[in-house]
Structure 1
Amino acid sequence: MIKSNQGPQDMEVQHPPTDGISEMQFSPTADLLAAASWDNIVRIYEIQPNGTSVAKALYEHSAPALCCAWSKDGTKLASGGADKVAKLFDISTGQSTQVAQHDAPIKEVRWVDGASPILATGSWDKTVKYWDTRQPTPISTVTLPERLYAMDSVFPLLVAATADRHLVIYNLNNPSTPFKSMTSPLKWQTRTISCFPAGNGYGIGSIEGRVAIQYVEDKDSSLNFSFKCHREGGQTVRDKATVYSVNCINWHPIHGTFSTAGADGSFAFWDKDSRQKLKTFPKVGSPISTTCFNRNGSIFAYAVSYDWNKGHTGATAQPQNKIMLHSVNEIDVKPRKRQ
């Protein structure tokens, strides 16, 4: 059993990726944790009831793996990479096959709820493509205003965030035509986007240590708000804040509260409805690049990994790449009455 200095409950996953950890996702049906890495490998770990981990499977891209997403039934894992392809790994056979192709790296993959297994892939080639993974050609291709930086989907909502702060929102009942196009409510580059569990809005995080909570329908616009987080100092006019990027937003699957994690190496839990912070955790010493909750919200996984927020000058000779498992205390994620 490996103990960490992150806290008495946080366990370190054994045999972590050897380079930057770009995305992690828990299976919706089991405590299987997938991690895509800049070492070109997608790894799957089985998390035991006592918090220890076992390396279960792995497969390779021919360039850095940038994203991953489990199918709704937990039998398949999709991933995309800088090799411009998306792959599909079958848990039962242990085989991976190519299921999608773009003209530039694939930054995001998301399964789209529906009658058949449709995968949406978003790329720096300024397109989102929808694939029936049993067929070699896309069902539909939509053109984005810029390179895709972040994407998420909860049926019937898919939100694509691109360079130059563009946001394109799709109703998946009509996936090839934008439902709404707008500019991000945040003033700086988008880093992450995450749809509400109800599929009626999304949280968006930017490089300037700020998060916006946005509802899709205009009738709910009075509920939109933004807040500062992942910053240091700046309590007075003279004292300028040190600002860090918000790298990840995740929703708790039971309570509908959410987490943020950032380049400052901290994570926190929040309640959007009461607009308050629920819990802040100690810094871990390096940026947190990606996070996720397991299917019942009892485990919160976070990757301690350099996120290039300071470019190559901020990279150390021996970069640290590790995956930590935090045992979630119910009281830290339960909604609270508005103060």
Structure 2
Amino acid sequence: MIGGTGGSGRELSSPPGDGISNLRFSNHSDHLLVSSWDNKVRLYDASSNVLKGSFAQRGPVLDCCFHDDASGFTAGADRTVRRYDFSTGREDILGTHDSPVKCVEYSHTTGQVISGSWDKTMRCWDARAASGQETHPQPERVYSMSLVGYRLVIATAGRHINVYDLRNMSQPEQRRESSLKYQTRCVRCYPNGTGYALSSVEGRVAMEFFDLSEEGQAKKYAFKCHRKSEAGRDTVYPVNAIAFHPIYGTFATGGCDGYVNVWDGNNKKRLYQYSRYPTSIAALSFSRDGRLLAVASSYTFEEGQKPHEPDAIFVRSVNEAEVKPKPKAYVQAA
């Protein structure tokens, strides 16, 4: 059994040698794909703590995602979008951008690979062929992307949010501005498809909804998190990562304070805080059944070049009490 309540979890062996940019669990197994600034993407079996493969690129790998258990996609600082066959080690370049590629997603719904770049474009690729399908200009550099069903949410510099319907990509379904005042770090869609959570460099998370009706928009809110108060002074930390629990719809956030918090968004409450990790939380991912949580403890250079703890990946067993929403108190009418 990996980890346990109260501890950091089990540390994976053979970690990346430089900053961890992202990590993701497979939708089919406990395989974990990890991208990093040491020019490699690694495939682990998180349950058995085995490094199953390591694949090198010409530059830092800024994002990764699974196609299936046998293959995956990467976004690179070398401006490429690549596909890797994990069993043979074969790699194909699906295409390139004009600047580093910050994000990559695979839509199981449509079979498209979607990449977002600092060249201010989002591009869609056919997963079956090395050919670009479409290029969609964005208002600024792409910082984060997330998919749920047919919906794609893109967060860019300048606090812009574009929402697309993958069935009609001619223009965004919605163009929004972040309700948070400062730069966006992460966007993640709700598993039920009704909206998305957005985090910023200024210790806040916004809960947003796709429904544009007055009633739908009345549900949105933002809250402060990953802050520390000492001697009457607040220290505020960027919120780098958001991950939703696949069963309960609660979510974890990770910040530059080294903490992972679990939240019940519907009831607007924090459910749990794990013990502090050695350094900043760069990325988070729940396994497909919600039993495991992968945590990238990796300095994100928010304070520039300085001595810091080695990069590490922790995988912890998730106790139901940490992630299951608590029922609202029942008050009997007089």
When normalised by structure 1's length, the TM-score is 0.92
Partner of 1:30: 29
User: Residues 249-291 of structure 1, C-alpha deviation per residue, up to 9 Å, x if partnerless?
Assistant: 0010111110000000000111111111110112123111111
Q: Distance in 2 between matches of 1:16 and 1:176?
A: 41
Q: Give the 3-state SS of the residue equivalent to 2:218 in structure 1.
A: helix
Residue pair 1:209, 1:231 contacting (<8 A) in 2 also = yes
How far 1:165 moved relative to its partner?
0.7
Q: Distance in 1 between matches of 2:199 and 2:287?
A: 21
* Residue identity matched to 1:275: K
Q: Give the 3-state SS of the residue equivalent to 1:331 in structure 2.
A: helix
Q: Distance in 1 between matches of 2:15 and 2:170?
A: 38
Q: Does 1:150 align with 2:105?
A: no
Partner of 1:79: 74
* Residue identity matched to 1:253: P
Q: Among 258, 279, 292, which residue is 1:286 paired with?
A: 279
Partner of 2:297: 304
Q: How many residues align?
A: 327
Instruction: State percent identity of aligned pairs.
Output: 38
* 1:207-222 equivalence runs, <5 A: 207-219=201-213, 220-222=216-218
How far 1:8 moved relative to its partner?
4.1
How far 1:319 moved relative to its partner?
4.4
How far 1:176 moved relative to its partner?
3.2
Residue pair 2:295, 2:313 contacting (<8 A) in 1 also = yes
* 1:298-337 equivalence runs, <5 A: 298-312=291-305, 315-316=306-307, 319-337=309-327
How far 1:113 moved relative to its partner?
3.4
Q: Distance in 2 between matches of 1:7 and 1:278?
A: 14
Partner of 2:332: none
> What is the RMSD computed on CA atoms of the aligned residues?
1.9
Residue pair 1:122, 1:148 contacting (<8 A) in 2 also = yes
Q: Distance in 2 between matches of 1:140 and 1:284?
A: 41
* Residue identity matched to 2:247: I
Q: Among 169, 189, 196, which residue is 2:190 paired with?
A: 196
Partner of 2:99: 104
Q: Which structure 1 segments of 5+ residues have no match? A: none
How far 1:136 moved relative to its partner?
2.9
When normalised by structure 2's length, the TM-score is 0.93
Q: Distance in 2 between matches of 1:68 and 1:9?
A: 24
Q: Distance in 1 between matches of 2:134 and 2:8?
A: 46
Q: Which structure 2 segments of 5+ residues have no match? A: 330-334
Q: Does 1:254 align with 2:244?
A: no
Partner of 1:141: 135
Residue pair 2:8, 2:314 contacting (<8 A) in 1 also = no
Q: Give the 3-state SS of the residue equivalent to 1:311 in structure 2.
A: coil
Q: Distance in 2 between matches of 1:338 and 1:212?
A: 22
- Structure with more relative contact order (C-alpha pairs < 8 Å, separation 6 or more): 2
User: Residues 269-315 of structure 1, C-alpha deviation per residue, up to 9 Å, x if partnerless?
Assistant: 11111111110112123111111011111110101111111122xx2
Partner of 2:257: 264
